[in-house]
Amino acid sequence: MRSFLAEWTPLPMLGMFALFLVLPAVLPWIGGYTYLGTEVMIWAIFALGYNLLLGHTGLPGFGHGAFFGLGGYFLGMSQKWVTGGLWLPLLIGTLGAAICGAAVALFVARKRGIYFALLTIAFGTMFWFAVFILDTWTGGEDGLTGIKRLAVGIPGLFQVPLQDNLAFYYFVYALFVVLTVVIYRIVRSPFGQVIQAIKQSESRASALGYDTARYKWAVFTLSCAFAGFAGGLYSLARFGAFPEPMSLHQSGNVVLMCLVGGGFASFYGPVLGVAVFLVLRDLFSTLTDHWMLLYGLLFMAIILFLPEGILGLTQRKRRPAPSRDTGATPPPRGEIAAPGGPR
Amino acid sequence: MPLVTELITQLLNGLVLGLLYAVIALGFMLILGTMEVINFAHGALFALGGYFALALQPHVGWWAALALAPVGVGLVGLLMEFGVRRTYGRDPLFGLLFTFGAALALEELIRIVWGSRGYTISAPAFVAGPFQAGFLFYSKYRVLVAVLALLLLGAVWWFLERTPYGAIVKAGAHDSEMVRALGIDLARVRNLVFALGTFMAGIAGVIAAPMWSLKPTIGAEAVMPAFIVVVIGGIGSFWGAILGGLMVGLASGLSNLVVPRGSILVMYLLLAVVLLWRPRGLMGQKSMLEL
């Protein structure tokens, strides 16, 4: 039993789940609101999935907001015009984003480093423009409104309406719990071992006989599926799909969320990063109209002074000399790009 | 005749646009190639060039603004590099995110100083309005843009290929350790290259401002084609950037005739086709940037 727990839901994860379970009761006391908690969990699913690519495989994808947004649009369009309902559109949103991601992954799977980043930026903005151009279906700048949070339950037995924010919170909570465990299992799986090997040294992994391009393709597609799922939930939360989550700006946000929490160092980093980020966003926007300036400066400060993220910091304290094989720090230059060294 | 006129006009538009893209892309690539940093703020610096010119033109006139505004942008770049340099040699993500933050901050600063509204900037008097050649009317200013862009491209080529500084820059991009071992202060070289790259962004912004109306988001719109131009042409290739710029410019010009609303997507189509055909871009060679 104990080992089962450790393998599927280790203690920190249980603690996190417990925290989110009681959060709606606590939030009003500390000046928050239920919707903020919902938003944190949705973005956490997005960020945990994205961190498969960034933190665990070491691939700097920079256009993932696009797939997050696509999930919402696919959900909305299928709910409105094709299938109706809630679960099927959510599945379609996930698959739609995954398929788009799989197509992009064909182009980027053989790249890494800066080239990978550049290409994902380019393809990410392609989807962003596409949403504006296909405004007959997507609603363009106004977004695709009228997405319904239909009731969930077992037909004939019970139905839980999701209109209420608290009910919707626990709906998202249940999915958050399931997906966190799923992503954790992916990291712990043989597949997860291979992608972490790719992070440490792609040439070594491929010398061991792994088709690294195929693994990179798969992990990219997978992270897009999680992005699409989270994006679908986000469109339910906001009763509509809007272009703004697809902007490069939001793609950058999810990267920084992973980084600031310590996504390179810890599985839970992205969740912490999301929470810190969304709270700061709320705080900044109440402080000044020009919060984007603060935001940008914060971005720069984090890169300069806290590149390992918050959880990376605690790890550094605990282990003064991080050993290379934990993957706690991004490999130093010599490891990935020694000039004249092995490519 | 109207179709032919239209066709020629769009061809010329595409050509002018392509040359401008090439200028933006080269400044971007100079930084990318030498520092391995994706300068996300390139677009914001491009916008800043336009706004500096907007502020300067009433006082010093068009030509002086054309010279001074990019210098101002270059100084901003010089300062920025002191932060960016801490990301050298680390995961490319850090440089990318640092400049991304800088882009956000710069864009917001522009909003604070000049507001969110758009400005239309008039072309200097001597190139105002169109000229006529047979049945064709074409904007004089765009011709000036093409000439200036060509001059700039020529100057960069001369700098990279014919001066000792260009040799140092290229060598530094290729094998930084060896350059250091030869006793060259690479930190200073990088600082100056960063300033030069941002200078290029700034001057492109000044030139482009009268063609596009100046608004805070103009940078994001200008930098995307530049990214694509760099990838299509092949990272690190001077002629690739020019070829890529012309291709993207012409493709979006011509597609304006057929699918005006979809013309933005055409460059992505071009990107996909080129990458399927030549994964390193048209003139890209296996380089250290590929890792």
Whether the per-residue pLDDT at B204 is higher than 60: the answer is yes
Q: How many CB pairs under 8 A join A and B?
A: 142
Q: Dig out the tokens for A76 from the structure.
A: 């909305």
Question: What does the block give as tokens for B153?
Answer: 């491209």
> Where are the domains positioned within chain A?
2-329
Chain B closest-CA separation from residue A137 CA (Å): 15
pLDDT given at position B186: 84
Q: What pLDDT was estimated at residue A318?
A: 55
Q: Do B96 and A54 touch (CB under 8 A)?
A: no
pLDDT exceeds 80 at position A1: no
- Measured between beta carbons, which residues in chain B are less than 8 angstroms from residue A111? 290
DSSP for residue A85: S
Nearest-Cα residue of chain B relative to residue A118 = B227
Q: Is the ipTM of this complex over 0.90?
A: no
Q: How confident is the model at residue A15 (pLDDT cuts 50, 70, 90)?
A: very high
What percent of chain A lies above the pLDDT cut of 90? Answer: 50
The answer to whether A126 contacts B89, with C-beta atoms less than 8 Å apart, is no
Q: Tell me, what amino acid is at A115?
A: Y
Say what the pTM is: 0.88
Could you read off the pLDDT of B71-115 as tens digits, one per residue?
Answer: 999 999 999 999 998 888 787 788 888 999 999 999 999 999 999
Whether residue A121 has pLDDT greater than 50 = yes
Q: What is the pLDDT of residues B215-270, one digit of tens each?
A: 888 887 788 888 899 989 988 888 999 999 999 999 988 888 888 777 788 888 89
The nearest alpha carbon in chain A to B116 belongs to A290
Decide if B97 and A332 are in contact by the 8 Å CB cutoff. no
Least confident span in A94-98, A285-289, B156-160, B193-197: A285-289
* Residue B161, token pair as written in the block: 């290929």
CA–CA–CA angle B44, B90, A292 (5° rounding): 30
B chain contacts of residue A252, beta-carbon cutoff 8 Å: 97, 100
Inter-chain contact A255–B235, Cβ cutoff 8 Å?
Answer: no
User: CA nearest A59: which of A112, A133, A121, A6?
Assistant: A112
Contact A114 B291 (CB under 8 A): yes
For A294, name the nearest residue in chain B, comparing CA atoms only: B105
The DSSP 8-state label assigned to residue B209 in this structure reads T
The answer, yes or no, to whether residue B70 has pLDDT greater than 80, is yes
- Quick one: average pLDDT of B207-214? 89
| Cα–Cα distance for residue pair A230/A66, rounded to 1 Å | 12
- Chain B, nearest residue to A201 by Cα: B291
* Whole-number pLDDT of residue B289: 47
- What mean pLDDT, rounded, does chain B reach? 88
List, in order, residues 6 or more apart from A145 with CB less than 8 Å away.
Answer: A139, A239, A240
Q: Count CA atoms within 13 Å of residue A231 on its CB side.
A: 37
Q: How far is A211 from chain B (nearest CA, A)?
A: 17
In chain B, what residues touch A118 (CB-CB under 8 Å)? 38, 227, 230-231, 235
- Does the structure show a pLDDT above 60 at A331? no
Q: Do A60 and B111 touch (CB under 8 A)?
A: no
Element (DSSP H or E) covering residue B56? helix B42-60
Q: What DSSP letter does each residue of A228-277 carry, written as one string?
A: HHHHHHHHHHTTEE-SGGGSHHHHHHHHHHHHHHTTTT-TTHHHHHHHHH
User: A334: pLDDT confidence band, cut at 50, 70 and 90?
Assistant: very low
Interface test mutation site (partner B, options A118, A284, A298, max chain B beta carbons within 10 A):
A118
In order of their start, the domains of chain B are 2-290 (1.10.3470)
